[in-house]
Chain A
Amino acid sequence: AQSVTQLGSHVSVSEGALVLLRCNYSSSVPPYLFWYVQYPNQGLQLLLKYTSAATLVKGINGFEAEFKKSETSFHLTKPSAHMSDAAEYFCAVSEANAGKSTFGDGTTLTVKP
């Protein structure tokens, strides 16, 4: 069985500040981990993924995430927030080669000018 917990349903940061969105997972086997982003009035798109290669993963738009097995975490970060980063972010886990992903409840990121 697998599950995902996203801490904080809403996160607000100032433009230029660090973005940190938290994700913890539970999986009985080595996981594959994903972050997806949903911009206002748009569909979900893949931001980045971890599939057992490098533990620090870089994605689009300057985002990155680090897989920490000891902490069962896959937090998403960006050094400097931009207004265009305002969106809903979903963390997801799947068992390697099992295809089906379990999604967290999402975190809405607000960026203040």
Chain B
Amino acid sequence: GAGVSQSPSNKVTEKGKDVELRCDPISGHTALYWYRQRLGQGLEFLIYFQGNSAPDKSGLPSDRFSAERTGGSVSTLTIQRTQQEDSAVYLCASSFGTGGYTFGSGTRLTVV
């Protein structure tokens, strides 16, 4: 597609529920990233996929967080047993080479 597409744009969930966030990167971009942005804070790295290599999961904050990327394209970030501290904007980005990231508009997650 023309840009990075994320869905849903907003998600309100009850504490303890599982959520899935979706990212559709730019076609042909080999790298895909997930970041988290809490209110008034910078971007916190979560996970990075590059081609067929094993993902860099070093930023995932706990084992409640997982992500997969199917067919080198669409990615899903799953948060199990959500907690209030998981409330944030979850940003997906893709890139090709050293060109810098193209970001999606994000998913605003609110855990109540």
Contacts and interface: CB of A to CB of B under 8 A. Distances in A.
Interface of A: 32, 34, 36, 42-46, 49, 51, 90, 92, 96-97, 99-106
Nearest to A100: B48
Contacts of B98: 32, 49, 51, 96-97
Interface of B: 31, 33, 35, 41-43, 45, 48, 50, 56, 91, 93, 95, 98-106
Nearest to B89: A43
Contacts of A34: 100-101
A102 B105 CA distance: 19
B1 to A, nearest CB: 14
Given A90-B42, A99-B31, 10 more contacts: A36-B103, A43-B103, A44-B103, A46-B102, A49-B99, A92-B43, A100-B48, A101-B101, A103-B42, A103-B43
B102 A106 contact: no
A45 B48 contact: no
A96 B31 CA distance: 14
